[in-house]
Amino acid sequence: MEKVLITPKSFHNYKEIVYPLMAERGYEIVENRFGRTMTEQEIIELASEGVVGIIIGVDPLPAAVLERCKDVRAISKYGMGLDNIDLEKAKELGIEVRNAAGTNHISVAEHAIGLLFALARHIPQNVTAVRQGGWERVLGVELTSKIIGVVGGGQIGREVALRAKGLRMQVAMYDPYMHDESFLETNGIRRLHDLDTLLEQSDIVSLHLPYTQETKHLINSQTLGKMKRSALIINTSRGELVDEEALYDALAGGVIAGAAQDVFSMEPPEAGHKLLGLEQFLLTSHTGAFTKEAVERMATISTYNLLNMLEEHSKGAARC
C-alpha cells in the first residue's frame, strides 16, 4: 500500500475530517510521532521507501532529503511559505509542490495587529508586573494616525493593511512585485517605491514577505539606522528577515523603540538568548497561524492539494 507522511504536529486535531479522505484513496498514513518538528534524518527514515506524498509543516526538506525519498511524487505545504523545501531539487526530481494558499492569512494578520497593540501599550510587561503585586503604569502610545509601513503586499500584508485602516492608521506599502493598484486606491493605501523611504517615514514597520536570499537580513544595522527612534517592528513572516544581532544592538542602544516577532532564526531560540532579556522585545512561539479556523483550513486544503497532485501524477503516468 502506498503511504503518505504527515509531519505537522497540529494536523492530527482534524484527522477525523481529513484522514478518511486519504484512506478512501487507498493511502496508508504515517504520522509524526515525535511531538515536535522532525529532523532531516527522521524524515528520511520514515519516507525513504513507499511514501508517495508528504504533507509538510516547517520540517526541513533540503536536496539531500528529497534525494533519499525516492518514491515521493508530491509535497503539499501545510501553510504558505515554501522556504523549507528545496524547490529546484523537487522540480529536478519531478516532485510537484503546492502550498495551502488562502488558509492562514486572516489569523496571521490578526496576530500581527495583536503584537502591535502589545508593543504600543506594553501589555505583557504590565500584566506580569500586576501579577507580581505591582501597580505601576507604563506610558504607551496611541495607534490612531500613526503610519504603518507594510512590507509585502501579499494576502497577509493586505489583511494587515485593511485592519490598520480600521484602526484609523495611515498605511503605506512597499512591494515591487505587487501590481494591484485598484486595491491600493480603493483602500486609501499609499504605495512607496523604495524601502528606505518606508523605513524613514513609518512609525511601525510590519514584515510580510517570504524568506529568500534577496530578503535575508532585510532588516539590518543599516536599515534599522534609517528608522525613527520611536519606531516599532513587527515580524510574523520568517526570522531570517531580521539580523538578530543588529536588532539587539538597535533595541539596547535606543535606535528604535521596540520589536515583536512570531518567528526566530532558530526555533525555539537558545536558552538565555540576549534578545529575550530585553523588555522592548516580544517573541511568540510561531503561533500566528495557530487558530482553530486556520488549522482546519490548512489541514483540509493541504490534504486536497496532495490528493489532487497524486491523482494527476497517476493519470499522467497512465497516459505514458
Q: Which residues pair with 219 in a beta bridge?
A: 242
Does residue 311 have an active-site annotation? no
Q: Which DSSP string do the residues of 177-197 spell out, in sequence order?
A: T---HHHHHHTTPEE-SSHHH
Q: How far apart are the first and last CA of the chain?
A: 22
- The H or E element spanning position 44 is helix 40-47
- The answer for residues whose C-beta is within 8 angstroms of residue 8's C-beta and 6 or more apart is 32, 55, 56, 57, 78, 298
- The C-alpha atoms of residue 87 and residue 93 are separated, in whole angstroms, by 10
> SS3 of 90, please?
helix
The CA-CA-CA angle for residues 319, 303, 299, to 5°, reads 170
State the Cα–Cα distance between residues 218 and 265, nearest whole angstrom: 13
Q: How many angstroms separate the Cα of 320 from the Cα of each of 93, 313, 314?
A: 17, 11, 10
Strand partners, 206: 150, 234
Q: How far is CA 297 from the centre of its chain?
A: 16
Q: Which three cell numbers stand for residue 67?
A: 534525494
**Selection from 127, 149, 107 nearest residue 291 by Cα:** 107
Catalytic position from the list 163, 208, 286, 297: 286
Pairing of strands 3-6, 190-191: unpaired
Q: For residue 122, indicate whether it is catalytic.
A: no
One of 267, 279, 293, 311 is an active-site residue; which one?
Answer: 267
Dist. CA 113–CA 122, nearest whole Å: 14
Q: Which of 238, 240, 244, 297 is labelled catalytic? A: 238
Residues with catalytic annotation? Answer: 238, 267, 286
